[in-house]
Chains A and B, each alone.
Chain A
Amino acid sequence: MKPALVTRADWLVIVASLALLPWLYATFWSSDDTAADKVHIIVDGKELPPISLHQDRKLTIRGSIGTSTLQIEQGRIRFVHSPCQGQQCVHSGWLSHNGEFAACLPNRIALQLSGGAARFDTFIY
């Protein structure tokens, strides 16, 4: 008798692999994995080296009209203080997802988050 082309053990592995697929999808492909891991800060048109969001700290950045304070905490970042009138940057609140951005235009400081899978390509407001 010829040996079967696909043995029972082969079927077992194929079934096990298929069963594994949802887990693989959830782990490596899931669109929920949108948490950013670094922030890119642009001051007066020049980009600073990216900064990790995984180390809590406060950043003070000198812009065109004064000093803005940024806070990084638990993978998030926000403008705590800025010398602008409108305070739109401060009102933007915490940013934590890839692609999110905020800016203090009067002080010419902008930041954008990257890393993780982007759920949105850009944001309007």
Chain B
Amino acid sequence: MNLPGRHLLLLTLGLLLLTGCGAARQTRIHHSQLLSFGTLVDISLWDASPEQIENAERIIHDELHAMHHDWHAWQPGPLTETNQQLRGGEWFVCPPAILPLIVQAKQLYQRSGGLFNPAIGQLVALWGFHSDTLPKGPPPPKEAIASLVARKPGMDAIVIDGQRIRSTNPAVQLDFGAFAKGYAVDRIIEKLIANGIGNAIINAGGDLRAIGRHGDRPWRIGIRNPRGPGVLAGIELSGDESVFTSGDYERFFRYRGKRYHHIIDPRTGYPARGVTSVTVIHDNAATADAAATALFVAGPEEWHPIARRMGIKYVMVVDDKGRIHMNPAMARRIQFESEQKPEVVLSKPL
């Protein structure tokens, strides 16, 4: 072979290697979106067959249907029937779609010191958040709020005996808004694994659980800036981890210049103050979902002991002054995107 021919061969081989890798990388990732029952689910699957992709979309649709129908806090269904029975205080057979949620929610209520409290459905309704459209204000009368808070609705008032339950407090009305999505994501992931899917992200409206990896690298997650466009930070996930965020920007109304959001502090009956968003990483999505709410309610001063009680190892709290509070293990995982890094307050290790 003459010299130029040999050189050309070398270069061609090099280029072929590059294009080969590129082609392989593009075909093994599947991205799709499913808009189902008011939730936008972003699906990422690595190395899944067409049959597995079809199964995954069906599983997600079915679980969202269950979440929407069985656990809806104000549209007639198993949860509204349960709430009606709880008001009476008598023993009744709990619908099978509701009982496991109550069991898990009771444990999380205890571990959060009552800050994750799905028994305050009446307070959430009083604020006008039990509606498909957002309330316009004014906020409810303070006497009505105080009277409901004084009746101390809590998950400890629900007594379970096999399939039967009763409430010892008629003020208890369940609202699984801070928990149902995490619970549904856990069920979706369990079913995906049973279908042979080992590498996936299920992102349900900004909260997700990721299993496995994106080929030879971890999954990469962008955290949107809660108070503006762009990405605040990036984080890598591998193995099996859930990332859940509670933010005051998700559902809110303004009245006379003041912002009232949907995360109600069960101790005061008012929207929790001092925090813009809380992001939690945990292996279980339902726990991460409940913890994000509990730590939001706890606020920038009290989140640390509650996180420790709940067994949470990674927390990021953005307070209402834009400062970021994190435990050291979380700080090691967060890569800030913007050139102007926000003020970070490091806590003690969790």
Alpha-carbon gap, A115 to B40, bound state (A): 21
Nearest CB of B to A33, in Å: 11
CB-CB contacts below 8 Å: A56-113 with B:
85-86, 88, 91-94, 99-101, 103, 105-106, 108, 110, 112
B residues near A108, Cβ cutoff 8 Å: 35
Chain B residues near A114: list those with CB within 8 A: 31
Contacts of A99 in B (CB 8 A): 31, 222
Pairwise interchain contact A124-B214, C-beta atoms closer than 8 A = no
Verify A119–B245 contact, CB threshold 8 A.
no
Whether the pair B40, A101 counts as a contact (CB closer than 8 A) is yes
Contact A121 B245 (CB under 8 A): no
For the complex, give the distance between the alpha carbons of A120 and B337 in Å: 12
Return the contact of A121 from the options B7, B201, B224 (Cβ within 8 A): B201
User: Which range holds the interface residue count of chain A?
Assistant: 35 or more
Q: Quick check: is B258 within 8 A (CB to CB) of the other chain? A: no
Q: Does B42 contact A (CB under 8 A)?
A: yes
B22 with A85: CB separation less than 8 A? no
Residue in chain A with minimal CB distance to B26: A117
Q: Is the CB of A124 within 8 A of B203?
A: yes
Check A123/B220 contact, CB under 8 A, given A17-B11, A42-B35, A108-B35.
no
Cβ B203 vs Cβ A122 within 8 A = yes
Q: How far is the CA of A21 from the CA of B11 in the complex (A)?
A: 10
Taking CB atoms, residues of chain A closer than 8 Å to B206 are: 123-125
Residues of B contacting A: mostly? strand
Top 8 A-B pairs, shortest CB-CB distance: A93-B229, A120-B222, A125-B224, A125-B206, A123-B222, A13-B7, A122-B203, A85-B134
* A28 vs B23: C-alpha distance when bound (angstroms): 12
Verify if B322 is at the interface (C-beta below 8 Å from A). no
Instruction: Give complex CA distance A73, B3 in Å.
Output: 50
List the interface of chain A (C-beta within 8 A of B). 7, 9-10, 13-14, 17, 21, 24, 28-29, 40, 42, 44-45, 85-86, 88, 91-94, 99-101, 103, 105-106, 108, 110, 112, 114, 118-125
- Closest beta carbon of chain A to B338's beta carbon, Å: 14
Instruction: Write out the residue numbers on chain B whose beta carbons fall within 8 Å of the beta carbon of A28.
Output: 18, 22
Looking at the assembled complex, report how far the CB atom of A56 sits from the nearest CB atom of chain B, in whole angstroms. Answer: 19
Report whether B207 and A42 are in contact in the complex, using a CB–CB cutoff of 8 Å. no
Q: A45 CA to B57 CA in the complex, in Å?
A: 12
> Is B231 part of the contact surface with A, judged by Cβ < 8 Å?
yes
B167 at the interface (CB under 8 A from A): no
Q: Mark B39-59, 1 if CB is under 8 A from A, else 0.
A: 110101000000000000000
**Do the beta carbons of B229 and A124 come within 8 Å of each other?**
no
Contact between chains at A85 and B133 (CB < 8 Å): yes
| A125, B230: Cα distance in complex, Å | 11
Do B229 and A9 touch across chains, with their CB atoms under 8 A apart? no
